[in-house]
Structure 1
Amino acid sequence: MVADIARQVQWRDKWLKPEQWKVLLISGHAVATKQEADVLPGLEGEYVNIRESSAQMSVKRMASLIEYTTAWAIGQGVRFTDRRYE
C-alpha cells in the first residue's frame, strides 16, 4: 500500500521512500483522529514528530490507519496493485 503511494505520488515536488510515507501517513492519521501530535526540537535543532508506533497499534487502530491511508491515496489518484494472499 505505502509502496504504491511512493511510486505514484510526489510530496512537495519530491519523491519519498515508502518509510517516509509511513511517517507522514501515521502523523496525518493521528491528527485526523484527534490524537496527540508532538513535534519537538531535535538534538541538532531539527524538528521531529514523535509519533505512535504502528507495531504497537491495536487491531482497531491499525484498521483505522488502513482506512485513512486508502481514502487519502484514492483522493490523490493512487491505483493500488492487486495483491492476493493464499
Structure 2
Amino acid sequence: MFRGMLLTIVTLTLVACAGESPGPLEGTWVVSEPFPVRVTFRSGEMEAMGVTKKLSYQIDGDQVLVMHKEGATKGITFTYTVVDAKTI
C-alpha cells in the first residue's frame, strides 16, 4: 500500500510541475548537427520543419523536460540543458 501511495504522490507532483511555458527554452534555436534545423519552442507547442507538435514542459533548474503529447513521439520526454542564452 505504501508503494502505491508513494507512486501516486510522485506522479501528482510531476503533473503539477508540468506546464505550458518552455521557460528558458522559449524562442527559436538552430540545430547544426547532423543537419541544420530551426526549432521554435512556444507555450504548449514546438515547431520544427513546418510541423507543430503539442507539448508540456517541466523546468528543473537549467534543464527543461519536454513531454510530447501527440504524434509518433507521444509520451516520450526529451531533456534539454540550457547552457547559456545561445546554447542548449
Q: TM bucket by the smaller chain? A: under 0.3
> What's the TM-score, normalizing by structure 1?
0.24
| Greater helix fraction, Structure 1 or Structure 2 | 1
> What's the TM-score, normalizing by structure 2?
0.24
Pick the structure with greater CA Rg.
2
Q: Which has the higher contact order (CA 8 A, sep 6+)?
A: 1
